[in-house]
């Protein structure tokens, strides 16, 4: 079986999905189920104090017994905030140590601050977290994150929530070629073909949220993404044909074609036309 292995655990799905931006928990659950994802990201936020204490909890809808929850540090701009958030997450999830680290650098672009990300990763790894790390598509940084002990590197395809697709496949290719740990494209996927391209490049998986949640029909898009990731993976494993620029090659036999019009003696039946 062609499985995804992260930190020693085996997954059959190479699609990881977020749980934000859905209109309600029912849509969240249906989209996640349809996507086939086994790893789902969650955010850690202050609970509402003294209001709606009976409102349903995300973890009742998507129980940790059924999914591998991947708590993130979305919204964190400093090492300290990211580390504290994940310590809270580990306590919340009964010691679960697989986490998604992201340290943002700028609220407008949500581009990662890699200097801070490296520092946070070092602290978290020392505290025995298994760190899947959101990163810029810089191959050197990606390698440093791997060398320090991250369990997966997750370069952006384009900005978080932008849906701009894969802007620099060449950098992703270098990161993939250099890595001995899983490489997952995280952020920027807009539609199914983007996910397929990522997988065809040789990515081990794709993580997305907005591409599904902000589709007109999120559940249908979740289905499309599931197929797109599978198709891209199979195409990668199958090995694509070589590109032959300006060198066409017919798929049908070149022998045995019926007599060409200019070699027959019979007159045209259509009169004057050539």
Partner 1 sequence: MIQLTINGLPQQFESPINVTQLIDHLALHGKRIAIERNGEIIPRSQFSEQILVHGDQLEVVVAVGGG
The tally of CA atoms less than 13 A away on the side-chain side of residue 51 is 3
CB atoms closer than 10 angstroms to residue 244: 8
Dist CA 188 CA 155 (whole Å): 10
Considering the rule CB under 8 A, would residue 41 count as an interface residue with partner 1?
A: yes
Q: Which is nearer to partner 1, 126 or 264 (CB)?
A: 126
65 belongs to the binding site for partner 1 (CB under 8 A):
no
Angle ∠(14,149,151) on CA atoms, nearest 5: 10
* Binding residue (CB under 8 A) for partner 1 from 35, 72, 113, 117: 72
Smallest distance from partner 1 to CB 240, Å: 30
Residues 6+ positions from 245 with CB-CB distance below 8 Å: none
Member of 69, 121, 197, 229 binding partner 1 (CB under 8 A):
69
* DSSP reduced 3-state for 208: strand
Footprint of partner 1 on 91-110 (CB under 8 A): 91-93
Which C-beta is closer to partner 1: that of 29 or that of 227?
29
Contact between 49 and partner 1 by CB under 8 A: the answer reads yes
Question: Beta partners for 72?
Answer: 100
Q: Is 67 in the site for partner 1 (CB under 8 A)?
A: no
Quote the CA–CA distance of 49 and 29 in Å, as a whole number: 25
CA distance 124 to 180: 20
Smallest gap from residue 92 Cβ to partner 1 (A): 4
List the beta bridge partners of residue 9: 6
Residue selected from 6, 37, 39, 44 as contacting partner 1 according to rule CB under 8 A:
44
- Phi, psi for 184 (deg, rounded to 5): -120, 130
Residue closer to partner 1, measured from CB, 19 or 135: 19
Question: Which of 36, 71, 165, 188: binder of partner 1 (CB under 8 A)?
Answer: 71
- Near partner 1 by CB under 8 A: residue from 42, 99, 151, 215: 42
Q: Which one of 1, 53, 108, 252 is in contact with partner 1 (CB under 8 A)?
A: 53
Residue closer to partner 1 by CB (options 105, 161) is 161
Active-site residue flag, 272:
no
Check binding of 28 to partner 1 (CB under 8 A). yes
Phi, psi of 186 (to 5 degrees): -130, 120
């Amino acid at each position: 079986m062609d499985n995804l292995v992260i930190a020693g655990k085996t997954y059959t799905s190479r699609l990881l999905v977020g749980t934000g931006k859905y209109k309600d928990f029912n849509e969240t659950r249906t989209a996640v189920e349809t996507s086939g994802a086994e790893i789902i990201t969650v955010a850690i936020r202050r609970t509402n104090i003294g209001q709606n204490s009976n409102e349903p909890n995300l973890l009742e809808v998507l129980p940790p017994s059924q999914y591998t929850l991947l708590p993130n540090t979305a919204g964190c701009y400093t090492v300290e905030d990211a580390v504290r958030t994940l310590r809270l997450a580990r306590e919340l999830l009964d010691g679960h140590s697989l986490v998604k680290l992201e340290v943002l650098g700028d609220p407008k672009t949500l581009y990662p601050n890699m200097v801070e990300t490296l520092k946070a990763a070092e602290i978290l790894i020392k505290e025995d977290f298994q760190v899947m790390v959101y990163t810029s598509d810089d191959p050197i940084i990606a390698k440093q994150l791997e060398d320090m002990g991250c369990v997966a590197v997750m370069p952006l395809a384009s900005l978080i929530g932008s849906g701009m697709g894969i802007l620099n496949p060449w950098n992703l290719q270098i990161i993939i070629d250099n890595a001995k740990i899983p490489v997952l494209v995280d952020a920027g996927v807009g539609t199914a073909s983007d996910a397929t391209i990522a997988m065809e490049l040789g990515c081990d998986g794709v993580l997305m949220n907005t591409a599904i949640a902000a589709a007109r029909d999120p559940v249908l898009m979740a289905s499309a993404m599931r197929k797109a990731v599978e198709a891209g993976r199979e195409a990668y494993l199958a090995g694509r044909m070589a590109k032959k620029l300006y060198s066409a090659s017919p798929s049908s036999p070149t022998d045995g074609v019926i007599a060409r019009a200019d070699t027959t003696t019979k007159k045209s039946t259509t009169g004057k036309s050539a």
